[in-house]
Structure 1
């Protein structure tokens, strides 16, 4: 997919930029070890901000294939942004327990054609404001001077604050549930500076709860069995 290729390219650029930044700092300081006591802290905090790309994963029902009500229902990736806080608990040399409560502003788009009106493609979007509450286990590599690699995995709880506002609108074309549970996997890099750690991170967030609200008065609902959310998040963490 072109989008996933773009994510990989962006991730590579983040890594290269971070390594160059860290290398230049290290050369300028003759490889002074920054924040030497940080790795022994029992806990620490930080802030995070970044961008996300989200879409719906759709499983169509039998009527979609057998009738001409809709010729096409196609989800599309859409950008958004996120900001939040971080709390990190050290378990041992290799593992940390981490939570990153945040607000995620996301948009999911659907392209579809409805022959009852025209054969022209119609694009609709569902805007969401998620309270995002993850709990993650973080695996850390050895520290190499002022650099470290890590991987993370865990579960998440999401609540869509915009769900009630959407339900009051008269032009709603698809109803989705406000609560979601799922898992997250990702990786990142830690660059130790004099007073803080700069950490670019990429993660996949996959919802497991069927988000479709079964309102058969909406024609689009009759063509769908299941909707799940998927989001790719590119974040920058500043940790103290």
Structure 2
């Protein structure tokens, strides 16, 4: 992650502000509507909301052990997609960036037993189709670089939902992977910053962005050893995305 932040920092400040414009990226700034594609590296996790009595001995009817802690564990993934950018005026663009995101999120459960500590790691597997609609505010161009901030909302749906339904039909209670379920679709907020770097024939834009689901995404009606101590789960992610326009 340090290398990613360093790359973004260099992209922001690695060019002289006093030099003359060198590249036009194919005169992209004169186009009302332009397109591109994106590649991303993502780190997904959960914000965990626990029941008040989650650590009370005997509070979980599915386990005789006492739960000490529930910790979200970050997991790396990747994304790829397309970009449609509509120029509103000199400083504002409207961006639609549909993409496929492949991220697994994990939860670590720490139980206390009479003789030792027991740690269980549960993985929530997802393949998301994300449909973000974002507003981009751009600074004045300095040399071949223009800085920007971006924010908006996205609709997220799990394209593995049909497979999950098939899995439910053949449910095996000993299969821990099926004990944590999230809603098939939800809304999330996104905000971040980036830099447009103008090259001779195209524009390259590294971007760092955070996202957080607006509502609890844990599926209701699922009560088992893993979900009983939970009051809610919120999906969060750190996205490092490279746009090519």
Q: Shorter-chain TM-score category?
A: 0.7 to 0.9
Match in the other structure for 2:140: 142
1:85-115 deviation line (CA, Å, top 9, x unaligned): 0000010001000010000000101111345
Map 1:69-148 to 2 at 5 A: 69-114=66-111, 119-148=117-146
CA contact (8 A) 2:12 2:147 kept: no
CA contact (8 A) 1:149 1:190 kept: yes
Aligned residues: 228
Deviation at 1:174, TM superposition (A): 1.4
Map 1:182-197 to 2 at 5 A: 182-197=188-203
CA contact (8 A) 2:145 2:196 kept: yes
For the aligned residue pairs, the C-alpha RMSD in angstroms reads: 2.5
Match in the other structure for 2:62: none
CA contact (8 A) 1:214 1:221 kept: no
CA contact (8 A) 1:156 1:181 kept: yes
CA separation of 1:60 and 1:199: change in aligned 2, threshold 3 A: same
TM-score under structure 2 length normalisation: 0.84
Match in the other structure for 2:63: none
Map 1:58-77 to 2 at 5 A: 58-68=48-58, 69-77=66-74
Distance (whole Å) between structure 1 residues aligned to residue 37 and residue 12 of structure 2? 18
Distance (whole Å) between structure 1 residues aligned to residue 160 and residue 111 of structure 2? 26
Q: Which has the higher contact order (CA 8 A, sep 6+)?
A: 2
CA separation of 1:36 and 1:126: change in aligned 2, threshold 3 A: closer
TM-score under structure 1 length normalisation: 0.86
Match in the other structure for 1:179: 185
Distance (whole Å) between structure 2 residues aligned to residue 131 and residue 65 of structure 1? 36
Match in the other structure for 1:219: 225
Per mean C-alpha deviation after superposition, the further-off stretch among 222-231 and 59-68 is 59-68
Q: Secondary structure at the match of 2:227?
A: helix
Distance (whole Å) between structure 1 residues aligned to residue 69 and residue 190 of structure 2? 30
> 1 or 2, which has the higher helix percentage?
1
CA separation of 1:119 and 1:88: change in aligned 2, threshold 3 A: same
Deviation at 1:50, TM superposition (A): 1.3
Per mean C-alpha deviation after superposition, the further-off stretch among 228-237 and 218-227 is 218-227
Distance (whole Å) between structure 1 residues aligned to residue 22 and residue 112 of structure 2? 67
Distance (whole Å) between structure 2 residues aligned to residue 91 and residue 166 of structure 1? 41
Deviation at 1:36, TM superposition (A): 7.1
Unpaired segments ≥5 residues, structure 1: 1-5
